[in-house]
Structure 1
Amino acid sequence: MQHFLKYSTAAAALAATLGATPAFADNVVLWVNAPLASAPDAPIYAELKAFEAETGHTVEIQAVPHMEMERNLFVAMSGGAGPDVMALDIAWVAGLADAGLLADVTEKSDPIADQYQPGPLSAGRFKQRQYAMPLYTNNVALYVNNKMLAEAGIDAAPKTWDEFQAAAIAMTDKDAGTFGLTFGGSRVGAFQLYPFIWQSGAEIIADDGTVGVDSPEAIEAVQFISGLYTEHQAMPASVLTANSWDEVNAPFIQERAGMLISGDWAIGALNNGNPDLDYSIVPLPAGKEAATVIGGYNLAINANSGVSDASWELVEWLTGPRSVELMAQYNRLSAQAAAATDEAIAKLPEELQPFMMQASAGHARPVVAQWSQIHSDVFGTVWDSALRGEPIDEVMTQAATQIRQILGQ
């Protein structure tokens, strides 16, 4: 059951003792994704106490499950209610901003923009205006079964497309029932596919709105990845129906697939599913350029907040330099630029280092209000069509037409 936890600051307590409340003190209602506030001793609680002590404001926090957050925000904020500050999956920013529900923080954020990694910062921007600041970031890397790779006669994890294809084919053995790569179907597979489109040098939707999915480069990327299934049979048949990360992970956990493309969220699932699994995590193999797709959560301010100044103070506090240490306590990656230095990366747990090593190659999914529809209705279908062996140039041309229609072009 969702619940509120309220903190009283030293400043507020002193003011109460004196019979007055400081003029600068406000109460900020904060909604966060549930894992950040999963227990009374979760790190965010101590961080909020420090904020309160420093500023005199109070913070009222509510933990909301990820699957309920977007809907709850739209319902509450559309009615003029909701929190003052909220944690947003980066994919939700454009839709909420387009609906006029988020405060424009461009002028406040511009002076500190260089503190943040460019990819995560851009994920909070809509129509060249900043509506959210990055709380933490993640991206997808390559998981490799070390034993299967060695048995295939390969000495090192792949770093290029050619090496990636060769490793996938080498680890595929029809008689033994093993495959080179486990991959998702529909929308999950589309998410895994995006880095390869960028690695080809193509854009999905450029900043100026140009749709690039029908370019020769994008077609080549989709052909390359889908061909591992349609031409080389290097993916298990589960690729056709794997619509959750658990389903994508399963062949890798069972050591039936030698490689997996996923984010840091897979680490716990793999370790719990097969504690003896010998695997490495490395940056994604690069095409014409290195690229990965970023995820993570941002913090944004309700356009109707009555405490917008205090809300910005909270956003700046939680996403600023202190986030490096705060996110480390969650085994998550801060989006601060300082978190991506060689020294900072060396301090991370070994399994997280590859993700931050490729952070500079991170791309945000297109920040357009219709992205959820484009991802589900267009790219989910693109990937399913590619797996069925339909001509990729025709599939991508049709996808580009659909995207332009959705965008009103």
Structure 2
Amino acid sequence: MRRTARIGVAALAVTTLALTACGRGDDTTTGDATATAVDTDELSGTVTVWAMGTEGEKLGAFAEAFTEENPDVTIDVTAVPWDAAHDKIATAIAADEVPDVSMIGTTWMGEFASSGGLDPTPPDLIDESTFFEGAWGSTEVGGTSYAVPWYVETRVLYVDTALAEQAGVSPTPATWDDLTAMSKGMQSAGAQWGINLQPGQTGAWQTFLPFAWQAGAEIMNADQTEFTFDTPEFVEALTYYQSFFTDGVAPKELPEGTLEPDFVAGKIGAFQSGPWHIGLLDESGGEGFLDTVTLAPLPAGETQASFIGGSNLAVFKSAENRDAAWAFVQWLSDPEVQADWYAETSDLPAVQSAWESGDLASDERLAVFGEQMTTAQAPPAIPTWEQIANVIDTELEKVCKSGMDPQEAATAIQQQAESIGTGL
């Protein structure tokens, strides 16, 4: 998830509620849980919704279009600060005092679904094939979906086009070798740092994991019962990532808040980030600066991959107005509504067909994110993921800043992950 005012990551506070069925309507088996049918013929009553950040501020007014179509339904949105959201949801599930619907950060899905608090997604109402595969995967826990992807984010390369041309290298590296050549070339052309990559610390796993996936590494086995960090592929990714720091191409320390101005000034040749940096660079660089920047998909190792984040919409097991809640979630998943929501908030749609019209279809920069989204992946949806992520952050910092042997780091991550467990 993006670590801005829109999305923050709180500490784990795993609840231990038993998983119980709703008992409404006809049962449809999905994976290991039971999803019940939804009746959308006669919707009425109030649907209570918790939403965070910008979404919490704008969803109430936006939902008026839904209530115009369903005049007997009221949408009541409560804006919740992201830094309080995790614990608020966990406490609500434990006390059985939940709203009907809530935004759920993608890395929280394993925890809240396994707690028994979320209603399995009804397949009679929601078509999984309409969403980006990586986005839908973020809703699945133990083979069952417990939410619907609302908006998505992924990471691409932001490259100083002029520096790349001056260095005689491509600003759109296709392979790891190309990325190395581009980074070193731009440094030779005058950049202080050829590329900026996060050298550990909070959230660095989001920058690193795409390299692991590109190398062919898997984080867990197919049934998500065992961690698989200590593999040649994962070590290969750590070794390659480390090379940018041992070769002096990427900074081991970058003062907070200097990335954008340093990139604008040509001190940094490239960096990896999400769509929010379009606005940040436009603000930092001024009119016309973005025309000097190339956005490119992340290069491939054995395969191409990036990180997918964003937020999902979940209906709670104890929702008082379940049918109307799911109908509202379905409405928010309509391609035209998703496109309208993007126009309102700049949230990138999770529904693929929403990218086929308007700015989402014509803007070349956004098209890069749409292309990258097709190969973007989510981390395992397990209750303990945030704890595992903290381990990766810590060991990655040792690799990048202290020169720790990548094999030693992979072994350390594996051992600590096994000690933490999956929480399932």
* Greater share of helix: 1
Change (3 A) 1:84 1:259: same
Q: Is the 8 A contact 1:87 1:300 kept in 2?
A: yes
User: Which of 86, 99, 104 matches 1:83?
Assistant: 99
User: Which of 141, 146, 158 matches 2:173?
Assistant: 158
In the other structure, the counterpart of 1:351 is 365
Q: Is the 8 A contact 2:355 2:361 kept in 1?
A: no
Change (3 A) 1:225 1:408: closer
Deviation string 1:9-64 (CA, Å, 9 cap, x unpaired) is xxxxxxxxxxxxx97412001111221243xxx4x445412221223311001222
Pairing 1:401–2:412 present: no
In 2, the alpha carbon distance for the partners of 1:298 and 1:327 equals 14
Q: How many residues matched?
A: 375
Identity %: 26
Gaps of 5+ in 2: 1-40
In 2, the alpha carbon distance for the partners of 1:104 and 1:346 equals 30
In 2, the alpha carbon distance for the partners of 1:238 and 1:252 equals 15
User: Which of 71, 82, 93 matches 1:66?
Assistant: 82
The alignment's TM-score, normalised by the length of structure 1, stands at 0.85
> Aligned-pair RMSD on alpha carbons?
2.4
Pairing 1:383–2:399 present: no
In 1, the alpha carbon distance for the partners of 2:108 and 2:261 equals 28
Pairing 1:302–2:321 present: no
In the other structure, the counterpart of 1:268 is 279
Code of the aligned partner of 1:189 = A
1:1-400 matches, cutoff 5 A:
24-38=43-57, 42=58, 44-45=59-60, 47-55=62-70, 56-108=72-124, 112-173=127-188, 178-184=192-198, 185-209=200-224, 210-230=226-246, 232-238=247-253, 246=257, 248-249=259-260, 251-275=262-286, 276=289, 278-329=292-343, 330-339=345-354, 347-376=361-390, 378-387=391-400, 388-400=402-414
In 2, the alpha carbon distance for the partners of 1:390 and 1:25 equals 60
Gaps of 5+ in 1: 1-21
Change (3 A) 1:385 1:305: same
In 1, the alpha carbon distance for the partners of 2:184 and 2:103 equals 42
Change (3 A) 1:74 1:346: closer
Deviation string 1:150-204 (CA, Å, 9 cap, x unpaired) is 2222244211110000111112259x56111112232332210111100111111
Change (3 A) 1:345 1:194: farther
Question: Secondary structure of the residue that 1:304 maps to in structure 2?
Answer: coil
Displacement after TM superposition at 1:107 (Å): 4.3
Question: Secondary structure of the residue that 2:267 maps to in structure 1?
Answer: coil
Question: Secondary structure of the residue that 2:75 maps to in structure 1?
Answer: strand
Question: Secondary structure of the residue that 1:82 maps to in structure 2?
Answer: coil
The alignment's TM-score, normalised by the length of structure 2, stands at 0.82
Change (3 A) 1:247 1:186: farther
In 2, the alpha carbon distance for the partners of 1:264 and 1:197 equals 22
In 2, the alpha carbon distance for the partners of 1:108 and 1:370 equals 31
In the other structure, the counterpart of 1:16 is none
In 2, the alpha carbon distance for the partners of 1:30 and 1:114 equals 25
In 2, the alpha carbon distance for the partners of 1:206 and 1:316 equals 32
Code of the aligned partner of 1:208 = D
